[in-house]
Amino acid sequence: MATTAEELREEVRRRYAESARGVTEGSSCCGSGSCCSADFGEALYDAEQRSELPEAATLASLGCGNPTAVAELREGETVLDLGSGGGIDVILSARRVGATGTAYGLDMTDEMLALAQENARAAGVGNAHFLKGVIEQIPLPANSVDVVISNCVINLSTDKPAVLTEIARVLKPRGRIGISDVVAEDRLSPSERAERGSFVGCIAGALSRSEYSAGLDAAGFDDVTVELTHEVADGMHGAIVKARKR
């Protein structure tokens, strides 16, 4: 069992590489233990959105929400998707911001990046760009992004304060976030969260509702809301997280 931060990151990388290979090879999209269940994945996108996407992009959807539905993207904006996977949210975002806007996807898994690039080509989206890196060290300049989105990825980080600080760094003043994530009820201790699911399964590493709010406040955000949307395990919920950079 992975115990150190680097071991956990490598396990996440391996599981999501497995998921990408499954899509490419035509087998199940879900690597064992990854974020896949009835409460995760392509079912969280409506039929109209799915019709905009290559089949491989929807098959590779391992998220717990639909951040493009809550981020209120506007023409000409620059949007960054943390942990972009097969590219579903980047492709949808690129269409929302239009030809004058830009959508970036950041992922640490070579297999997912290759799949996302192929999906963007198949979708005919020219303003989508994919970057290799980790969400604790975003390879973009300060004050360069209008909106940061993410779909069930921040819970997988072993250094969430670093992630939230990096999000604040790359956002322009008053830039905003629209994040889907798994969030624990405040009553659950870290050990109780771990009892409900694995780290790579998007459960054990989840922040509580109050921890998320406090972390965003400490990173320089205000107008913070953490709205629980659907239960994915006892006391664990899919959630929509919104905030603005101060």
Q: Where are the domains of the chain?
A: 5-245
What share of the chain in percent tops pLDDT 90?
64
Q: Residue 58: is its pLDDT beyond 80?
A: no
Q: Please give the average per-residue pLDDT across 145-166, as a whole number.
A: 96
pLDDT digits (tens, 9 = 90+) for 187-228: 999 999 989 887 777 888 999 999 999 999 999 999 999 999
Enclosing H/E stretch for 55: helix 55-59
- pLDDT confidence of 13, banded at 50, 70, 90? confident
For the chain, how long is the longest CA-to-CA vector? 47
CA 143/CA 246 separation, integer angstroms = 12
Average pLDDT, whole number, for the chain? 86
CB 201 within 8 A of CB 154: no
pTM value is 0.85
70/79: higher pLDDT: 79
pLDDT digits (tens, 9 = 90+) for 81-98: 999 999 989 999 999 999
- List, in order, residues 6 or more apart from 195 with CB less than 8 Å away: none
CA 62/CA 88 separation, integer angstroms = 10
Our CA angle for 22, 51, 130, nearest 5°, is 55
| CATH match of 5-245 with 3.40.50.150 | yes
CA 27/CA 45 separation, integer angstroms = 21
Q: What's residue 11's pLDDT?
A: 83
